Structure 1
Amino acid sequence: MADVVADGELDDVRPPAPDDGERRLTTSLSTSVLAVLIALVIGGLILLMSGENPLTAYSAMVDGAFGSSFALGETLSRAAPLAIVGYGTAVALRAGLITIGAQGQVVAGAIGALLTAQFFENAPSAVAIPAAALGGALFGMAWVLIPALLRARFNVNEILSTLLFTEFAALLIEYLLNNPLKPPTAITPQSEPYPKNGILGLVVDGTRFHFGVFAAFVIGIAFVWWIRSDRGFSYDLYGENPSLAQSLGISGNRVIINSLLISGATAGLVGWMQAAGLLQRVYVQIASDIGFFGLVVAFLGGATAGGVLVAALLFGALQSGGLAMQSSEGIPASLSDIIQALLLLGFSIRYAPQIIRLTRGVMANFTLIGKRRA
């Protein structure tokens, strides 16, 4: 069967106005705004009980996130990776898939980007930088390929398989940075410095705002084009109604594999950004919590372009603003962590039916494996 039907053949199937993307964006933004307000109110109550002024704390947080070129650069450098992972995860979500393997794919992408950059160490930057970006994307895709095939061919739940591969990635990078990639003089697990010809320069000196951050805007534009294309609509249709999609000639296996590969590629690009721009070498914790927060960003953004961008900026501002609040007002940055945790709780409640359904799917896979072994 063809992956998608020919251009124009889906016109009769497309829903009438209001546009589905606008409806999703309105719903997701209203949900996100409500979740943010509740989180801020609860955070304010915690501050009051601690003897702090909530208005002073939140003012310091906003100023620390957007009040200067350094603050804005810090916020954008934190938000961009979340947005890129969020866009890739959103492609899978719109196809009816939930992957929680972005964390491992970021790690794989960082390793792939480093190895590619080392291979092109003597090449011009115009060659080395895009080659390393491609290497990161390909390694991210490779890391999700087996889970994608397992889901397409054997209906193995993608949550289970991508989670396992995230653990594999953690073990792999631990081994590599303690053995073959570790410099002889290094004490802690880390790689050699990233090749100079592949480093992403700073947009503004004295900040962490590097040129790789602009990749988030490029990916965002590509995502908008995708969801407005016939191919993107066919993937959305499969996510909403697989039977109808397949009756129109849309291959379910291709939708599954391609969606997960796209999510892996974007996560791999983030690994490249972390290694070539932010850290300029590879560390064990290079992925931080980008993969997991990227999933939350995709959910809170309703898997829409605008929603993902707003959610990523929100989390980026909370992270950078929390640190600034601690340094300027002496209020622990853990307040920012509490607000993010409350947003995660709201996310869990909002999507409880989907989470329960997917958990049942994972347990069904375990039950099937147990029966086969018996």
Structure 2
Amino acid sequence: MEERTALEERVAAEPGAFRILTGDRPTGPLHLGHYFGTLANRVRLQRAGVELFVLVADYQVLTDRDIADHLSEHVEGLTADYLAAGIDPSAATIFRHSAVPALNQLMLPFLSLVSVAELQRNPTVKDEIAASRQASVSGLMFTYPVHQAADILFCKANLVPVGRDQLPHQEITRTIARRFNERYGPVFPVPDALLSAAPSLLGTDGQKMSKSRGNAIALSAGPDETARLIRGAVTDGDRHIAYAPETRPGISNLVLLAALCQDRDPHAIAAEIGDGGAAALKKAVTDSVNEFLRPIRARRAELTADRTYLRRVLAEGDERANAVAERTLDEVRTAMAS
């Protein structure tokens, strides 16, 4: 906590000294868990003056699935989610993995800097493999942390917002940067991890909120769909509403969702509903979510109606990212040849 606070103070004091790499895989629409977990923080940091690189990780979709269905549609939808949430494309570089070949060429020298044993014991890779629910996975999944290191280091990002579960990936990136600099000379910053302070939202079934589980409220979900999902959310048999995440996770998750949407303390939300029971809670959550999402939905609808604009945003971001990646790759070649 103290380390995160100190890093936040440095960012607040000199935002222009930081460059962030962040992003998502285009496997479906972003949801409220994404918004409160990462998107809102990206927008906050960008508005503070931090330079933002946002990766649409289309190549990484292939790490845990045989076919990337509807990929171009998902790429444009993800871009619309970013812009609707408040990311400014005139300042941020939003780009596609597949459109920056120099980025992916960094994989080979980076792989030479880590051992098989280091990749085998990476807990995040183990979790990703287990979550893929496949009998076997490709070698690309095994090298996922090195791929992520290339994503971060190609643009010389020195700050990476992550959840605690992503710290092992981040440590591989830091290791690769240090080892490259020690072996070939100073080329890369050793990026810091900016741990998210955002509370974790559960899905409507009480499990981790996930696009693949069907338990998430998408930013693009309409009012009726949102109401339906919240009506089916897990609660308990106690009519009195209280915010107690450890003992009443389903109820507390709904209270937290309403509190985040209203920017209020969850205990105050629970106290207002009191003995109203789950029905009153779900109505309050539905109203809060729909009101919160109303401007985001409206902006997203405008964006998706203009696919030419979305493609232009991506093309311009791809061009900027390519220029950065080519410069970095030239530096890497020069350093390795010296």
Q: TM-score range by the shorter chain?
A: under 0.3
Higher strand residue share: 2
TM-score between both structures, scaled by the size of structure 1: 0.21
The structure in which a higher percent of residues are helix is 1
Q: Greater RCO between the two (CA within 8 Å, min separation 6)?
A: 1
TM-score normalised by the chain length of structure 2: 0.22
